[in-house]
Every structure is written in C-alpha cells, then in structure tokens.
A and B are shown apart, each in its own frame.
Chain A
Amino acid sequence: MGSLTRLGMFLAEEGGEHGGGGVEAGITSGWAVENVWLILVLPFVAALLIVFLGKANEKWGHRLAIAMMGYVFFHGTWLWILTMTDGVLYEASYVIGDLGSGFAFELGWVVDGLSSMMFFVVGTVALLVYIYAVGYMKGEIRYAGFFSAISLFAGAMLVLVAAPNLVQLIIGWELVGVASYLLIGHYWEEKENSSAGMKAFYVNKVADVGLILGAIMLSASVGTFNITGILDAAEEGAGELSSVAVVGALLLFFGAMGKSAQFPLHVWLPDAMAGPTPVSALMHAATMVTAGVYLLGRMFPLYEGLAADARPWIMLIGGLTLFLTGLIALVQWDLKKILAYSTLSQLGYMVLAMGAGAYTAGLFHLFTHAFFKALLFLGAGSVIHAVHSNDMRDMGGMRKPMPITYWTFVIGSLALAGIPPLAGFFSKDEILAGLTHAEGPSTAMVLGIGIDTFFFWTAVFGAAITAFYMTRAVFLTFHGEYKGHGHPHESPASMSAPLVVLGVFSVGAGFLNVPGVFTGMTKWLEIRANEFYEFHPESLDLGVALTGLTAGVVGIAIGWWLFARDADTQAERDRLHIPGLYPLLENKYYLDDFYLAIVAFIKGPLARFIDWFNGHVIDAVINGAGLVGVWLGRAVYGVDQKGIDAAVNGLAGAAGASGAVFRRAQTGRVQQYAAAFILGVVVLVISFVFVL
C-alpha cells in the first residue's frame, strides 16, 4: 500500500455497523398496495387512447398523458409516503399461462422499499417532464404520437420496476427499449435520428442476450422465475444455484450494461440525444438508464452473497465508465452531449457503488441524480428551445434573458458537482464512503492497490472532472456575449415551472439520508423480502466528505479560471486542445469506429463468405437432393410407363385378345351353336353316367 492509500484509510473512519435488508414492514395489505395494477395498466390505456383520440385533436395527447401520470404520481407518492411512515411490503402474482417444465408465466407487482422509491421517482419526474413537454413540443410534428410513446414508456418502466419475477422484468425491459427507439427517432425525417434510434436498440439488444441468458440460467437452477424465490435460494446457498450464481449474475449485469450504458456498451446514449429534450430528460437521465442499476439493486442479495465474486468486475466496469466518459464530456460542444456523458459518468458511479456492496449509496444516488439531471436536461432544453441550436457556440449570455433557467441550471450543476447542502453532495459522499468499506472484493488487486482504494481515488478524480465540465458548460452557455443570431427569451410557464420544482428537489432530496443525523433512505430501501448485509456508517465520514468536496471545488475552480472570462475567441476555447489526448477524446476513443468496423466486417467479408458457402455448399446439397428427386421421378416414370403401364396394357390386351379368340365362337350361326350344344350334352351324359 502506498502513501495515497494510507491517506485514504486515515481519512476513512472505522465506525459503523453492518445492517441489512429483510426488515419487517408495517403495511402488507390495503387499497394502495392491492391496486398497484392501476399504476401498471393506466399508462398503456392512455397510450392506446391517445393513438385514437389524438387523431381528432392532438391536445388529447397531453391531456390524457398528464391525467394518467397525475394519477401515477398520486398513487406512487402515496406508496412512498406509506413506505416512509410504516413501511410497505407486498407481492402479488397472477398466473397467466404455463411455460412448461414447471415454470409459470406470471404477472404481478412487488411493493417494497425499492419499488416504491422507483414509483415515486418515475411518477414525479415523468409528471414534471410531461408538463414541460406541453410547452416544448408545442407545434412539433406528431405531438399526440409523442405523448402516446412516452406514456408507453412510463407504463413499461413501471412494469419493469414492479416486476416480481424475471419474465415480467424482461418484458418491461424490452418495452422500455421499444419506447426509447420510438422516441429517439421521433424526428425520423432526419436520417441520423432514426439511425440513433436503431443504434440504441441494437446495442441494447446485444446486452439483452446476456440479460435473458442470465435470467434463464438463474431461474432454471432454482426452478422459478420469481425474484424473491431466487433470492431465497441464494440465501440458503442451494447447490444448483451456487454453481451458476456468478455466471448468471455476470450475465444479468451484462444486460444492465446495455440499458445503463456502461463502457463499452455506452455508445448509444450520446447519439440518443437526437430525440426531443423531454425524452432525454425523462428516459436517458432519470429513469430508463437507471433500470440497470435498479436490476442490480433488486438482485442485490444475490450479488452480496452467493455471487460476490462477480462484484469486482462490476466495480471495474463502473469505474471505467465513470472515468472515461467523464473525460469525453470535457471536449463536447453540444450541450446535450455534455449532459449525456455526464449521465454516463454518474451511472458509472451508481454501478461502482453497487459493485462495492454499497446498496443504499448507489440507489440514493439514483434518486438524487434523477432530479438534478432531469433539471439540467430540461434547463438545457429551455435554452435550446430559445436558441434553436444545441451547440454552445451558438449560445452565450443566456442568463440575462432566461433567469429562471439560469438559476435552476446552476443549482443542478452544483448538485451534480457535489456541493453541499445540495442533494448530490450527500449521495456522492455516501458512495465514496461505501467504497472505503467495500466488503469481499476488496481483496482483489488492481495495479498493486486494493480494488476499493483504486476506485475510491478514481471516483474522487471523477468528481473533479464532473465539476470542471459542468462549470465550463455553465459559463459557455450563460455567461459572456450571445453568439447567436436570434432573440432568445425565457420559456413559458409550462417549461419553467417544472424547472423550479426540480430545483427544490435537487436541494432537499439529499437530506433524506444523512448518516448520523437522519438515515431514512437507508431504512426505507432496506424494506425487502430478502435479507442482505451492507455497511451502514455511524455518522458522516468527514474525511471522505472533505475529499469529495475538495475534488468538486477544485474542478469548479479550474473551470472558472479557464472559462469565467467567457472564452470569446475560438483560440481561447481551444485551450483544451491537448494534442494527442484531445482527438482521442473527441473521437470517443474511436469506439464507434471500432464497432463500425465489426459491422463492416459482418456486412462485407463475413457476409460474402456466408453467401459463397450458402451458394456453393448448402445450395449444392439442396440442389443435389433436388436432382436426386428429379432422377427418382424419372425412374419412377419409366417404371410406370414401361412396367406398370405395360402390365396394365398387357392385361387389357389379353382381355381383348382372349375376347377376340372367344368371339370366334359367336358366329351367329345356329348350326354351330347346335353342334356345340349336342356335343356338350353327349359329353355330359358320358361323364355323368359312365365316369361318375
């Protein structure tokens, strides 16, 4: 261990206890939990109705969507409040059909700490985004279709989150992917938008292979798709499950890598910014991309126990994502792309936390990040809507015409950078704390250092980078002189009101889990049917907190120094242009080119080889079979013609010939008949009288 490590260990406090899930809950029945199906079904109903009613009047699009989401928000918040007060634990499954081999296809819902938190997050952010979209999408093409698709998405996400078994989870997972494809490609008239939608779908599909294989592997070894059942078996350490647990868990994580855009399957998220900004805010910041983190959270007892050997890999991927994508954000000019890479980086944080065994930390960060990232996206959308361009080079000086947007955006950025007392500080700090107390995989070594230490410092460095690029974004967008040509003005109330609300959340959400003061979130998230253990710090770890805070402040400072004077000239803006590093970052580590090369190989040489093989080998076999058939046919024909027909003709001929022969007896001459008659009589008499 080096001095850096010792510093880290010194800073980290030892205090803390190990508690865990499987907490008794107060509410296990009642109207709220028994009718969760309303939350799951209403969005689909709304989506369908919008398709039909929207044709008549497109306003039905937002009316139905907001009405539906209003209810979802209401019911979801109610459940969340129940969780906060009494705790809720409820599971219902209805058998729909039989999948064979003893597996049943069930649909239902789970209400526990984790899912009610997700209900609340989805309900709140979605409602605010819908309201925002009324203003943002006004006059845009396919207005009603947009709301239909985004309602479909909401339904799918809720189905996923409420899933009591892996099959329903996968159904929700796939439907969310479909909705994402539809929404990213909303402006499909531009080819790159539809291509972006397809890219998202393909990358997710590659990852889904892992998801499905993992789900099948785990379920087959346990004998049920039900998550509680699988986790119970994991708790017991049952023989069959233990042999596939690690592989299955890794495969599930591979699926999560697609949906939550972990390196190297992150490539679809930046391109997904081609969709309308509300979509980016809702799906690619707050909810859809967090589905992977949610999956890790849902299956956490497995990862914490039987499949603990999978966790170093999860940490590795999460850490790589965190770091590498954050660097790319430094060199982006597109405001939404910066936020996209920032989302990627934060997702890396969450995955890293889950990998380190910090269940509450990862999910708490999901919670807070949803609010301030949605806020940032909506704010960016507000600016883009005013300026009609995504590029920061067309912006500048936006704080004067758009004060609400400016201040909420600043709040969001500070939250993201982890500045107290904003939400991001608490959640990020908790992750860092969790990293220092990572159990189990801490024995894995990376570059000679313990894995938890390595990623602790990676996360700290990542925090600095985050603060830096957000500061750059703020200054280049809102400060200095306006570089564009239009007349930007503040967005309408439908758009700025949600910004304010999200701003409030970004401020207050962090206080839900302050170690040593109020750890409500910890308690609530641990209301689960299955037990698991995680580290609970006794109090706020000052050493860790200060480390994180310092990193953030350092990042802001550097950004301020570089960009506060509003890099007016291109030369100043190109200060970041470090030769060698810059092109690498600008080309996103050439990852897209690498993938394209793979696709090109499949399209080109591989396809040509397969075509040759098909044409010369397979077709030869088939043609050979065909020729055999033809030859057989000819042979049969010949046999038929010469053999059978000859036989039949011969018979006929024989009949005719014999007839001709016998016909000679029919001369028509009576005398002949008489002769035959008399002879016959004579013969008969002789034979009867003399012989017999």
Chain B
Amino acid sequence: MTLVQFLLLSSLLFSLGVYGLLARRNAVMILLSVELMLNAVNLNLVAFEAWIRDAFATGNVFAIFMITVAAAEVGIGLAIVILIFRNRATANVDDFELMRG
C-alpha cells in the first residue's frame, strides 16, 4: 500500500465535505458535511500514523481526540440549530441573514 492512496482518498472526502458545506441549504446537512470533513482528516491522521509508526502512536491519539471533539461539537451544533428552529421555525440557512449588510 502506498501512503498516497489514502491521502488522495482523504482529499476527496474533504472536498466532498467542502462541497456539501457550501451547497446545502439545511443547517443539519451542513453539520453532516462538517462530519464528513472531520472524518477525512481522521483518515489522514491514521494513514500517516501507519507510515510513521512512532512510539507514542501520535496519529491515533489525535484521531481519538478529534472524534471526541467532533462529538461534542455535533451536540452543541444541533442544540443551536434546534434553538434557532424554535425561534425561526425554519432550518433553512438562507433565511438567516440578520448580518446582511
């Protein structure tokens, strides 16, 4: 196995996540895309870990950290989306343009 195949895959996933982040209308879908991106990063980390194989298993450790933080972030993110939905009765991101100049 080459390293680069994993990296390419992770790049693909990341780009897909970017597309989803920018193109989706629903706030939950955006969060979903963010998860995709995070997952791509995890893949990257682990692939490098497999290559480097240091004594501390740094890549794996950080992958674990990332999963944890991602979980926390999803929890908060969804809470916020739900709150916004309560106030605005819509989860459509396009409708949230209070900051419009």
Contacts and interface: CB of A to CB of B under 8 A. Distances in A.
Q: Report if A and B touch in the complex (beta carbons < 8 A).
A: yes
Interface of A: 663, 665-671, 674-675, 678
Contacts of B93: 669-671
Given A674-B21, A678-B22, 13 more contacts: A666-B100, A667-B97, A667-B100, A667-B101, A668-B98, A668-B99, A669-B93, A669-B94, A670-B93, A670-B96, A671-B30, A674-B22, A675-B22
B98 A678 contact: no
Nearest to A659: B101
13 contacts: A663-B101, A667-B97, A667-B100, A668-B96, A668-B101, A669-B93, A669-B94, A669-B96, A670-B96, A671-B30, A674-B21, A674-B22, A678-B18
A590 B50 CA distance: 143
Contacts of B97: 667-669
B101 A666 contact: yes
B99 A666 contact: yes
B76 to A, nearest CB: 16
Interface in B3-26: 18, 21-24
Nearest to B94: A669
Contacts of A668: 96-101
A137 to B, nearest CB: 100
Contacts of B98: 668
Contacts, number: 32
A192 B19 CA distance: 117
A678 B97 CA distance: 20
Nearest to A682: B18
A243 B53 CA distance: 127
Contacts of B24: 671
Interface string B27-49: 00010000000000000000000
Nearest to B27: A670
Nearest to A672: B22
A671 B22 contact: yes
A658 to B, nearest CB: 13
B21 A671 contact: yes
A670 B96 CA distance: 8
A678 B21 CA distance: 11
Q: Tell me which of B22, B23, B93, B96 has the highest count of chain A C-beta atoms within 10 A of its own C-beta.
A: B22
Nearest to B98: A668
4 closest A-B pairs by beta carbon, nearest first, are A666-B101, A668-B100, A668-B97, A668-B99
Interface in B64-101: 93-94, 96-101
Nearest to A665: B101
B90 to A, nearest CB: 14
B5 to A, nearest CB: 22
B26 to A, nearest CB: 11
Contacts of A671: 21-24, 30, 93
A330 B85 CA distance: 134
A667 B98 CA distance: 9
Contacts of A670: 93, 96
Nearest to A664: B101
Contacts of B30: 671
A556 to B, nearest CB: 125
Contacts of A663: 101
Contacts of B22: 671, 674-675, 678
B98 to A, nearest CB: 6
A661 to B, nearest CB: 12
Q: Tell me which of B24, B98, B100 has the highest count of chain A C-beta atoms within 10 A of its own C-beta.
A: B100
A678 B30 CA distance: 15
Contacts of A666: 99-101
Contacts of A674: 21-22
A672 to B, nearest CB: 8
Contacts of B18: 678
Q: Tell me which of B18, B94, B101 has the highest count of chain A C-beta atoms within 10 A of its own C-beta.
A: B101
A667 B21 CA distance: 17
Nearest to B22: A675
A669 B100 CA distance: 7
A663 to B, nearest CB: 5
A79 to B, nearest CB: 105
B4 to A, nearest CB: 17
A665 B99 CA distance: 11
A267 B93 CA distance: 114
B86 to A, nearest CB: 19
Contacts of B21: 671, 674
A667 B22 CA distance: 14
A665 B30 CA distance: 21
A666 B97 CA distance: 9
A354 B61 CA distance: 139
A675 B99 CA distance: 16
Nearest to B101: A666
A663 B22 CA distance: 20
Nearest to A671: B22
B22 to A, nearest CB: 5
Contacts of A675: 22
A675 to B, nearest CB: 5
Contacts of B101: 663, 665-668
B42 to A, nearest CB: 19
Nearest to A669: B97
Contacts of A667: 97, 100-101
Nearest to A662: B101
A671 to B, nearest CB: 5
Contacts of A665: 101
A49 to B, nearest CB: 90
A530 to B, nearest CB: 102
Contacts of B94: 669
A678 B22 CA distance: 10
B101 to A, nearest CB: 3
Contacts of B96: 668-670
A671 B22 CA distance: 5
A450 to B, nearest CB: 117
A669 B96 CA distance: 7
A665 B96 CA distance: 15
Contacts of B23: 671
A91 B29 CA distance: 121
B24 to A, nearest CB: 8
Nearest to B25: A671
A668 B100 CA distance: 4
B29 to A, nearest CB: 11
Q: Tell me which of A665, A666, A668, A678 has the highest count of chain B C-beta atoms within 10 A of its own C-beta.
A: A668
